[in-house]
Amino acid sequence: MRPFHFAGRICVVTGAASGIGAAVAHELARRRAVLVLVDRDAEGMARVAELARELGSPDVSAYETDLSDGGDRLDLAAEIAARHGGADLLINNAGVTLMGTFEQNSMADFDWLLEINLHAVVRMTKAFLPQLLARPGSHVVNVSSLFGLIAPAGQVAYVTSKFAVRGFTDALRNELEPRGVGVTVVHPGGIKTSIAASARLSGGDPGGEQAAQAEKFEERALTMPAEEAARQILTAIQRRRPRLVIGGVARAADVLARLTPTRYWKLAQRAGKRLT
């Protein structure tokens, strides 16, 4: 496929109010893309949109949308089609996490996470698929995670969603690339975002153990600025790369999991390289 050029293209970004989503929006603006921001945080999106206009985006629109509500996204897709004529790039980035073991996780919390991290990715892709197929050279990006490559203890819900996003994206690529739509799965690891600090604490946290775990993770593991991750994602889109692993932690974990698929977590613990 030919390289993807961003100027003037209609780019939809979910989870756009902060973190990787906000950084991606700003990088797209620097490349003069038309931005469609999707998030539940209207105030955060307003700040992102203001800077995006200053950075050079010719048009920025924001859609306050709660991806945990279980609804389809056909109305959103139709509204964007009416305003812009359709989407050229869909970046499914929105995500949440849940602290605690599977025993501690309530089914309500587990379902909440799957609704945002997995079902929203599927529903957004389904809703925008007719537009993407109708616009030559379009592209889909689904953000998985380091935990779509490895499966640590204490992250069962998050791992379930991110491995599912990985599988969904790989299968989708095999269907869409022959029809001229590029598909990329992204596995970030160690990116400075607020996802750990804003994690839901399943079943309560009377002793503060889960909160302390999130703080420890943020201090030790989150080292790469979201802006650098965004630049790598846009380069991968431009070059039509099918898979992008971001960060030294993610690349090392990927190699270790390939070398010893059933023992990598024990080896990491023994070496004192806890990832959570």
CATH code, domain with 19: 3.40.50.720
Supply angle C-alpha 192, 193, 198, rounded to 5. 135
What is the number of residues in the chain?
276
Mention every residue, 6+ apart, whose C-beta is less than 8 A from residue 18.
Answer: 39, 41, 44, 48, 193, 194
Average pLDDT over residues 242-256: 93
Average pLDDT over residues 86-98: 96
d(CA 20, CA 211): 22
Domain assignment present for residue 264? The answer is no
d(CA 183, CA 171): 10
- The count of domains in the chain is 1
Domain assignment present for residue 260? The answer is no
Tokens of 191: 């990116």
264 catalytic, yes or no? Answer: no
State the pLDDT at residue 1.
Answer: 86
Domain carrying residue 203? 10-248
Domain assignment present for residue 262? The answer is no
Tokens of 95: 């995500």
Instruction: Tell me 245's DSSP state.
Output: E
Which range, 99-113, 196-210, 212-226, has the best average confidence (pLDDT)? Answer: 99-113
At position 171, the amino acid (one-letter code) is A
CA end-to-end span of the chain:
38
pTM for this prediction: 0.90
- Mean pLDDT computed over every residue of the chain: 90
Average pLDDT over residues 141-160: 95
Domain assignment present for residue 276? The answer is no
Say which of 147, 158, 168, 264 is annotated catalytic: 158
pLDDT at 272 over 60: no
Confirm if 125 and 77 have CB atoms less than 8 A apart: no
State the pLDDT at residue 58.
Answer: 97
Q: Looking at the chain, which runs of residues are DSSP E strands?
A: 10-14, 34-39, 60-64, 89-92, 98-99, 139-143, 182-188, 191-192, 200-201, 224-225, 243-246
State the pLDDT at residue 224.
Answer: 87
Q: Single out the residue of 90, 76, 6 nearest to residue 40, CA to CA.
A: 76
State the pLDDT at residue 215.
Answer: 46
State the pLDDT at residue 214.
Answer: 47
Q: Lowest mean pLDDT: which of 157-166, 206-215, 223-232?
A: 206-215
Q: Count CB-CB contacts under 10 A for residue 144.
A: 27
Which range, 144-148, 209-213, 220-224, 266-270, has the best average confidence (pLDDT)? Answer: 144-148
Domain assignment present for residue 141? The answer is yes
The residue that leads in pLDDT, 263 or 185, is 185
At position 71, the amino acid (one-letter code) is G
